[in-house]
Copies of this chain bind each other. A is one copy, B any other.
Amino acid sequence: MPTLILSKDEVRELLSMSEVIEAVEEAFRNWTQGKGNMPPKAYLGVEQGDFRAMPVYLPGVAGLKWVNVHTANLSRGLPTVMAVWIHNDPETGYPLALMDATDITAYRTGAAAAIASKYLARQDSHTLGIIGAGRQAYTQIQAHAELFELHRINVFDLSEATSEKLVQSFPEYYPRKCTPEEAAASDIVCTLTPAREPLLKKEWIRPGTHINAVGADAEGKEELEASILKEAIVVVDDIRQASAAGEINVPIARGQFAVDDVYANLGEIITGKKQGRTNPETITVFDSTGVAIEDAAVARLVYEKAQKAGTYQSLDLVDG
């Protein structure tokens, strides 16, 4: 039985943001309904960085994402983060495919935030604030453009060149470079930085704003002033990960926020167990840490499209 092998270029070719959004929403629905299994990430530290193993099971797919973080790679001209996905048949364990998961990760992260915005932002949201204009910003814009009619994107980055590149990539949504304060005054604000000191100030946030806090993904990282969280309705993707490594991790450690202050996880909102936005004045925050169910759902989509196309390389990786 052959195993499909998909390179980064091939995976990218097979990714469609509208399909990814649908798959990620379905993944949260299944997981919340108990159809799936996602053990905690396993960490492997090495001298120059670390690796994370993210095993996961959802209906129709079992697998593992293996992803590194090596911050010194930038100086070598290599990406800091590279991800591989092993795609197994849950019925037999057979490795059906091996594929690059770097773009899968970027797409699913954008999709998860846009899904959160769908349930938590005001329906009439038309302006998108981007704080941190690196790689993550592209899929945030693509995903939000699928679900909202964007009239303006307000972009801030410490690097003028990084902002400029993003602005030139999406002329159709009227992007402009601006101050962080101006970006924060958007209907939906996405924070996408590696900050370890809050950069989004409470005083900048208007009533009714929805914030996707995406940057914090490790202990000690923090992008929002804790006073924003105290006043907001806070939704997380996974309470275990969020409290250990997400936007709420530092405020929890400092006693400025508690696990019990979290309103819901995204799956509870999607399945209607908990209501989304009910008041146009409320400030809402989605704390996104990135969960393996998102990867599994998107990888399944990519695998099924590749298999249907029948034009991708495969080899007899194992017996069977």
The interface of chain A, by Cβ under 8 A from chain B, is: 1, 5, 7-9, 37, 39-40, 42-49, 51, 53, 55-57, 62, 64, 66, 68-70, 73, 76-79, 81-84, 86, 88, 90-95, 98, 100, 102, 313, 315-320
Contact = CB atoms under 8 A, between A and B. Distances in A.
Contact of A8 (B39, B40, B53, B319): B319
Given A66-B64, A92-B70, A316-B8, A53 B51 contact: no
Contacts of A90: 46-48
A66 B37 CA distance: 16
Contacts of A43: 39, 55
B9 A316 contact: yes
Taken together, the copies of this chain in the complex come to: 2
B37 A93 contact: no
A1 to B, nearest CB: 8
Contact of A317 (B7, B39, B64): B7
A93 B88 contact: no
A24 to B, nearest CB: 20
Nearest to A99: B317
Given A8-B319, A92-B70, A37 B46 contact: yes
Contacts of A83: 318
Contacts of A81: 93
A72 to B, nearest CB: 8
Nearest to A316: B7
- Residue among A47, A53, A94 with most chain B CB within 10 A: A53
Contact of A64 (B7, B51, B102): B51
A93 B319 contact: no
Nearest to A5: B5
Closest 6 pairs (CB-CB, A-B): A68-B93, A44-B55, A42-B42, A53-B53, A70-B93, A82-B318
A19 to B, nearest CB: 22
A295 B313 CA distance: 27
B320 A82 contact: yes
A245 B77 CA distance: 44
A51 B64 CA distance: 9
A262 B1 CA distance: 43
A204 B234 CA distance: 66
A56 B94 CA distance: 22
A107 to B, nearest CB: 15
A55 B51 contact: yes
A81 B92 CA distance: 9
